[in-house]
Amino acid sequence: MAPGFKETIVGKSVLRKEGPEKVLGQSRYIDDIEMPEMWHGATVRTRIAHGRVKSITFPSHIPWDEFVVVTAADIPFENYIAHILKDHPCLVDKEIRHPEEPVVLLAHPDKQRLRAAVDAVEIEYEKLTGVFTIEDSERMDPVIWGADNTFKSYLMEKGDVDSVWADAAYIIEGEYRTGAQEQLYIENNGVIAEFSETDGVTVWGSMQCPYYVHHAMMDLFHLPEDKVRIVQVETGGAFGGKEDYPSVLSAHAALLARKAKRPIKMVYDRMEDLAATTKRHPSRTRHKTAVSKDGKLLGGEIEFAIDGGAYATLSAVVLSRGTIHAPGPYFWPAIRVKAKAMATNCPPHGAFRGFGAPQSIFALERHMDHIAKVVGLTPEELRRRNFIKTGQTTATGQTLQDKIDMNEILDQALTEADYHAKRKQFAKENPASAVKRGMGFACFFHGAGFTGSGERYLASIVGLEATAEGKLRVLVSSTEFGQGTNTILSQVAAEALRVEYDDVIVQRPDTNKVPNSGPTVASRTAMVVGKLVHSAALGMIKTLTESGLLREGYTREEFLAACAAHLQKHGALKVLSQYEAPPNIFWDDQTYRGDAYPAYAWAVYVAEAAVDTTTYFSEVKNFVAVQEVGRVLNPVLAKGQIEGGVAQGIGYAIYEKVIWKDGVMANNQMTNYIMATSADVPQIHVHFVEAPFEYGAYGAKGIGELPMDGPAPAILNAIEEATGIAFNECPLMPEDVFEAMTKTAHTEEQPVVTEPAFTGVGPR
């Protein structure tokens, strides 16, 4: 237990709640579930990126009367999937806006025959010119969405940016890009849906947000709340990839179930999941920064653009988080961030751990290394001169309340990584070695909970009830998909009630049984939902105390006896608790000013990288992750979150490349979309600094997304140190290294240090 905390369950590495079933192989995921009379569903998809459907032909060699066939004509009301806007069709009617767009749904009892039928359906197209990059989209040739291909734009401004350039000793520019990244949960998307005229729609599925699907089904079938039931079954990884897409898949399965009058299972195979479902938004960030002679940031202009794909889905909120995180953990006297999410004819991009922040932080932390080089400071010293401090104002004008000292975190991270000694050693050894090694790091923060007024709008509710079996049951729609939701919420409840961890159970998320505690996204579960579980527990104690069933200073046995007595007398003991924003937290959606997040997690990640100049292959040899995340509720689970995020970040940096061909993912197989294996990850050293946050559960802040933000810039910073080449795009593949190195080798004997774009007249 960390010093100064007196809790007995929180802060302990209790065993994962649903862990025994998982290690025994007994957990039932969606594809493990069969239902009587159930058929399988499959999707016929478009092969072009942009155009119109001219005709659909069902060739006569397939006995179509054995199949259930659904097209847009079978949609009972409006043809859209409810996300933020209503622009995303459930099925293509005429207009095609991306490859792999669903046109026809088929169901059949036999999976093999279903496959053959999907392949047999012929679609005749009228092709139109497509838009495939941010630049294509900006040129508006053609316009494919709205008036100007822009889903959303933001302007975030602090101070007088226009006045900073005149006094700057340096004006430093740079452009940085990040590619798409697949969530690559090992369990593909899947659901089972049932439809009945009397009971409405029921969906069981692999998902993060049961109430998002609930909303989508109510809209699609015009059903009242109580005629839609959504149940999350054991979910084999999600990472954001099961935030919005399950609404699409559930709509398809439910449409088939309605027509087939039987349960329909739709489980994608890997190729379909990779090709058709969401990925991390590709991005382009342009920095222009005014810096004083002694390396102080005077002001900056950041243009942040993301590729949203063909429909708006969640792009506006991804853009928002990316925008707010773009200035990083530094104090900017003046800054302007212009951000936009652009439409392209690619499948819609969506949520992925970090949600826009990994993109803008990659740009900033590569740019900081460039600035350091131009100004003539070490990467470390430049950052030390500019870290934001408690009490200073952020880019949104928020006065920073977090008790944070980034210098301390940086000190610890560099010490743990043996940064200074290794830097010297590599500088000495590299000239004579075919393997070039380097040290790099990134400093960053990540806001916990929904951005701005998001949590107020959500107004999440959690419940806690006593069961007839003598257990305390947590009622939340917050889902477990590996992060540890079940475990930490049980710890919080047990701690607050002063009972044992094993006395607490968690209801499987089922919209018929649990209140809406909000979606399981945005690093909000521990901080926001955990705090609500805590207050529900206090409410339960109060109820029992006031009814005279419980004394102060009660024992666990007395508490359980009081619950039983209350149950006997009243039939039920259930307490609900609803979100209230911490005091003095305000946000203005119009001006984009105010308290963007109630609290932030802070981190410094250090990477040791090696580039083999014979194979051009890059590797991460060692990794140190130091972070301040408020109170750590469960050290083993928390470490697991950081390590898993770092491994995904390593993939983002040097392994995971989505190859696009006219909007199609060309490498939609695990054979050629490569994630890190056990042989590829280095040892990841994780350290926590704990500064409890008053309004989070037992001081917890968010932890889930943070580790995705830092690895890519840290690794590319290390690779620049190793090779002298500034790579400003991730993922960095061996062919990119080859191209850069052979280009320099052709022109000069020595590798050339690519200077960052630099304008202005130098120090003055």
Partner 1 sequence: MAISFVVNGEKKTVDVPPMSRLLDVLRDDLHLTGTKEGCGEGECGSCSVLMNGELVNSCLVPALQAEGATICTIEGMSKNGEMSPIQKKFLECGAAQCGICTPGMVLAAHHLLQKYPSPTMEQIREGLAGNLCRCTGYQRIFEAVAECGKEQSELIATSGAK
What residue ranges bind partner 1 (CB under 8 A)?
Answer: 13, 15-16, 18-29, 31-32, 183-188, 234-239, 269-270, 481-484, 636-637, 639-640, 643-648, 669-671, 675-679, 681, 683-684
- Report the nearest approach of partner 1 to the CB of residue 678 (Å): 4
Residue 37 or 124: the one with the smaller Cβ distance to partner 1 is: 37
Instruction: Annotate 57-86 with DSSP letters as a single string.
Output: E--TTS-GGGSEEE-GGG-SS-----SSSS
- Peptide bond preceding 142 in cis form (omega within 30 of 0): yes
- Helix (H) / strand (E) element for 661: namely strand 660-661
Instruction: Dump strand ranges (E) for 27-149.
Output: 39-45, 51-57, 68-70, 95-96, 102-108, 122-127
Residue 24 or 147: the one with the smaller Cβ distance to partner 1 is: 24
Q: How many CB atoms lie within 10 A of CB 206?
A: 28
- 3-class DSSP assignment, residue 26: coil
Residue 287 or 446: the one with the smaller Cβ distance to partner 1 is: 446
- Report the nearest approach of partner 1 to the CB of residue 113 (Å): 13
Instruction: Annotate 438-460 with DSSP letters as a single string.
Output: EEEEEEEEEEESSSTTHHHHH--
- Report the nearest approach of partner 1 to the CB of residue 547 (Å): 39
Distance of CA 757 to the CA centre of its chain: 31
Q: How far apart are CA 304 and CA 308, in angstroms?
A: 13
Residue 567 or 670: the one with the smaller Cβ distance to partner 1 is: 670
Q: How many CB atoms lie within 10 A of CB 486?
A: 22
Rg for the chain, CA atoms, rounded: 27
- Report the nearest approach of partner 1 to the CB of residue 682 (Å): 10
Structural contact between residues 653 and 32, judged by C-beta atoms closer than 8 angstroms: no
Amino acid at 697: A
- Report the nearest approach of partner 1 to the CB of residue 480 (Å): 8
Residue 84 or 681: the one with the smaller Cβ distance to partner 1 is: 681
Residue 201 or 620: the one with the smaller Cβ distance to partner 1 is: 620
Residue 243 or 643: the one with the smaller Cβ distance to partner 1 is: 643
Q: Indicate left, alpha or beta for 669 from its phi (over 0: left) and psi (-120 to 50: alpha).
A: beta
Distance of CA 288 to the CA centre of its chain: 27
- Least Cα distance to 688 among 649, 718, 643 occurs for 643
- Report the nearest approach of partner 1 to the CB of residue 646 (Å): 6
Q: How far apart are CA 97 and CA 130, in angstroms?
A: 8
Q: How many CB atoms lie within 10 A of CB 55?
A: 8
Residue 2 or 675: the one with the smaller Cβ distance to partner 1 is: 675
- Report the nearest approach of partner 1 to the CB of residue 397 (Å): 37
Amino acid at 174: G
Residue 130 or 702: the one with the smaller Cβ distance to partner 1 is: 702
- Report the nearest approach of partner 1 to the CB of residue 43 (Å): 17
- Report the nearest approach of partner 1 to the CB of residue 681 (Å): 5
Residue 187 or 608: the one with the smaller Cβ distance to partner 1 is: 187
- Report the nearest approach of partner 1 to the CB of residue 21 (Å): 8
